[in-house]
Amino acid sequence: MNTSRLIRRSLAAAAVTLAAVSLQPGSASASPSPVVGGTRATQGEFPFMVRLSMGCGGALYTQQIVLTAAHCVDGSGNNTSITATGGVVDLNSASAVKVKSTKVLQAPGYNGKGKDWALIKLAKPINQPTLKIADTTQFNNGTFTVAGWGATREGGGQQRYLMKATVPFVSDAACQTAYGSDLTPGDEICAGFDQGGVDTCQGDSGGPMFRRDDAGAWIQVGIVSWGQGCAEPGYPGVYSEVSTFANAIRTAAAGL
């Protein structure tokens, strides 16, 4: 991994801000690079979304297990230090459900390149619908939805309200044009517009990238992982490829 990637990674791990941002289609000032103008998600629109106290996102894999990014956690084992907030778009809402962690499982073999997934076991269930994970590559294409409480522009602050955006699939070949050998194609799936403008950003890490399946249900295909800046032209967002890890996630969750 090169130095700039390492810097991006450590910034990510230390993330204090998180959010998804999108450019309004047809927006008058398609701002230059990092600005990503998001839209707010509505209450209940993505009920599986969870905000984690270290400054990351996550999704309810089960009501008591959150799927997030490996770079959002310190390692594996008993861990009561994380608070998961669910059930709300407004983190300051009186109806927010806050639950402590009991255990963390970081992807086996995680070393900062690929394998960017982790599970967090909660002390009690969050009574919301869960997000199923893709276990084949069949949904690794098309248009994806991303959501989070992270920065709405590169260098910006975290958000109180959940933001959402949609981004198109980017092929491994095109993504390698941007990132070269920093990309681990089997482990990672990219998304974004050639012209930038819409992307996840710091603090969205660990949150899901998802789309509709053939029955119209949401299915998770990615986990927010990294990128060069946010929404920069020519630099798509990089997401953990959930289908690659579906079996490992299932096995790990069964043992938590």
- The one catalytic residue in 22, 71, 101, 204 is 71
Query: Judged by CB, which is closer to ligand ARG: 47, or 237?
Result: 237
Could you say which residues in the range 177-236 bind ligand ARG, by CB under 6 A? 199-205, 224, 226-227, 230
- Active-site annotation holds for 10: no
Nearer to ligand ARG, 105 or 224 (CB): 224
Closest CA to 206 of 5, 15, 1, 2: 15
Catalytic, 33? Answer no
Compose the 97-136 pattern: x for residues touching ligand ARG by CB under 6 A, - for all others: ----------------------------------------
Check residue 21 for interaction with ligand ARG (CB under 6 A).
no
148 touches 126 (CB < 8 A): no
Check if 81 is active-site: no
Q: Judged by CB under 6 A, does residue 18 bind ligand ARG?
A: yes
* C-beta of 18 vs 122, nearer to ligand ARG: 18
Please identify, using beta-carbon distances, which residue of 23 and 201 lies nearer to ligand ARG: 201
Q: Which of 22, 76, 101, 116 is catalytic?
A: 116
Q: What is the DSSP string of the chain?
A: --HHHHHHHHHHHT----EEE-PPTT-S---STTB---EEPPTTSSTTEEEETTTEEEEEEETTEEEE-GGGS--SEE----EEEES-SBTT-TT-EEEEEEEEEEPTT-SSSS---EEEEESS---S---EEP-SGGGSSSEEEEEESS-SBTT----SB-EEEEEEEE-HHHHHHHHGGG--TTTEEEE--TT---EEETT-TT-EEEEE-TTS-EEEEEEEEE-STTT-TT--EEEEEHHHHHHHHHHHHHT-
The window from 11-19, 101-109, 130-138, 208-216 that contacts ligand ARG (CB under 6 A) reads 11-19
Q: Which is nearer to ligand ARG, 122 or 201 (CB)?
A: 201
How many residues of this chain interact with ligand ARG, rule: CB under 6 A? 16
Q: Which residues are catalytic?
A: 71, 116, 205
Instruction: Give contact residues for ligand ARG (rule: CB under 6 A).
Output: 12, 15, 18, 150, 199-205, 224, 226-227, 230, 237
